[in-house]
Structure formats: C-alpha cells, structure tokens
Amino acid sequence: MIKPLFLRCGATLLAVVLVAGQAAGADLRKFAEEATGKTPEAQKKKKTVHRQSAAESAFGSGTYPSDDGGASFLGGFYAWLVSSPFGNTHASDPAIGEDGADGAPVRHGIFPRHLPGEATAPYARFDYNRQSVDSETDADDLRIELGYKMLAFHARSTMYSNDTLGQDMDINQFYGVLRYGGYRADFLPGTFEAGLGLGVSQVRLEDSIGTIDDSTIAFTLVAKYYPVQWFGVEFRPAWYSWDGSRIGDYDLSASVGYRFVQLRGGYRWLGFSGASDDLNGPYAGLSVSF
C-alpha cells in the first residue's frame, strides 16, 4: 500500500519537474531573444556581408554622389570620375530593366551610361562625309566630337569646290556643347543624345575675283536617337551668318552599323539669306566612335 503510493507520488513529482524544466527553458529562450534581438533569422542575416565595389563607395554608383558615404572618399572619387564610365552598372545596362535581380527598384544616375564605341555621347568621334550639290559642285565634310559626360567640343569643316568656275569655299564651325545622353531605360528605349552648342563659324570664299572671309557667332542643336544598336538617326541644325547674310544649316542623317563604326547617309540644306542658290544635296560617309 505504502510502496505503490510512494511510487505514484514519485512519478507525479518527476513529471512536474520535467514540465517545469521545459517551461523554464522556453521562457529563457524567449527572454534571451527579446532582450538581445538575436533570433535565428537575425543571425543568418548577420552572416551575409555586403562587399562594396569601388564605384559604390563614397561617390555612389559611379554616375552620381552617394547619399550614405563609403569606405574611401578618394577611391570613390576616382571610380566616379575615371573608372566608372567605362563599365556597366544596373542603373545603366540596357539589358537590365527597371528592377534589379532581387526585384528591388534600381536607382538611376544623373548621367546615363555610355558604352565605348557608341555614336551617342562619345568620348571621341570622327566623321567623314562626301556631299554632292550638283553636277559641278561637291564637298568634303569633316567632323570631330570630343567629350566627357556633359561637356563636349564639336568641330566641323566643310570644303566646297567648283572646278568649272575655279571656286573654293570653306565653312568651319567650332562649338562648346552642353550635352545629355546615353542609355537610360527608364526614360527612353535605346540610346540618345541631346545637345546645345555655342561657338563661332568662319566662311571663306576664294576665286579669281578675290577672297571673302568672315567670322561670326554660331549656334547649334544636336539630336541623336538610336532605338537599336545597329541603326540610328541624327539631326544637326546650326545658325550663323556670313558677311551680313544669315545662314541656316540643317543636317539630317541615318546610320547603320554597330559600336565603333557606322555607315552614314543623309541630306544637308545650306541656305543663304538673300541668295538665289543654296548648297543643298545628299551625302554619304563613315563614322568612327569611341
């Protein structure tokens, strides 16, 4: 009687101790997690370390200053100024859409990314065009573009020649250009460039009678759009004067090719105020871009 009762009491006491121990253990875990915030999920996140690239340091993604700073100011500045324009980022890669790989929205830079060899917003570009005005008048047209980010220098020299009349006329234009362009998928498909230029022009005519030479202020606009890498259109109007006559210079062209080299065809309208004849005509040429 006593022995069974003793066994039942012992078993009951053991069960109470085990239950209390489990409850105490659960409470301690909860207390520790609430006090320290070190949950298993937080520990896993803590083990994930984000390694910051040079272009994501003190000067952000390479296209605009960062809001949250970084490890090295000088290193970040070098990446933003020199290194970053020659590589791709999520903010500028045309193959990447609006969202990143994890679905998070991608922050875009102020200046769209330019890929070396693109005709838009180039570091350097050289054009040669051959224009036919009429059966007696032809022109060789040379154009140079040099630029970095939003600033560029444009120079253009067009040499008209009429061998029958023994006449030569050169038109030289030099511009400082404020430009904006490149890849910006959130703004426009493909690659583009828009520019505003202010500079000087020089028009010089030589023939058997004599020479007329005059220089004036010149103004130009630049519009380029390449919806796909192998095809694009460009429009380059310019306005200047020569010996008191206003000149409207309009250039519309289309190109086919790929990065670094494009074949170009277009038409140029060159109208002189008060003149009965204009130097209009089609042209064909080649562009080499970097």
Q: Is 188 a residue whose pLDDT tops 90?
A: no
Q: Is 224 a residue whose pLDDT tops 90?
A: yes
Do residues 120 and 192 touch, judged by C-beta distance below 8 A? Answer: yes
Residue among 76, 149, 80, 83 nearest 111 (CA) = 149
Q: Bigger pLDDT: 17 or 255?
A: 255
Q: What is the pLDDT of residue 281?
A: 95
Do residues 290 and 125 touch, judged by C-beta distance below 8 A? Answer: yes
- Per-residue pLDDT tens digits for 122-151: 999 999 999 999 989 999 999 999 999 999
- CATH 2.40.128.100, the chain: domain bounds: 124-289
Structure tokens at 251: 């250039």
Mean pLDDT within 194-222: 95
Helix, strand, or coil here: 48? coil
Q: Is 280 a residue whose pLDDT tops 70?
A: yes
- Per-residue pLDDT tens digits for 43-72: 555 554 444 443 343 333 333 233 444 445
- Residues 249 and 267: their CA atoms lie apart, in Å, by 11
Q: Is 94 a residue whose pLDDT tops 80?
A: no
Which of the residue ranges 109-113, 133-137, 170-174, 280-284 would you say has the lowest mean pLDDT? 109-113
Please state, in angstroms and as integers, the Cα–Cα distance from residue 131 to each residue in 35, 69, 247, following that order: 80, 53, 18
Where is 284: in which H helix or E strand? strand 281-289
Q: What is the pLDDT of residue 72?
A: 56
Residue 114 pLDDT grade (very low, low, confident, very high; cuts 50, 70, 90): confident
48: Cβ contacts below 8 Å, ≥ 6 apart: none
Count of CA atoms in the C-beta half-sphere (13 A) of 216: 17
Q: What pTM value is reported for the model?
A: 0.64
Q: Is 91 a residue whose pLDDT tops 60?
A: no
Do residues 266 and 249 touch, judged by C-beta distance below 8 A? Answer: no
Mean pLDDT within 81-85: 48
What CATH number was assigned to the domain covering residues 124-289? 2.40.128.100
Q: What is the pLDDT of residue 276?
A: 72
| CA 97 remoteness from chain centre | 15
Mean pLDDT estimate for the chain: 77
Helix, strand, or coil here: 16? helix
What percentage of the chain reaches a pLDDT higher than 70? 62
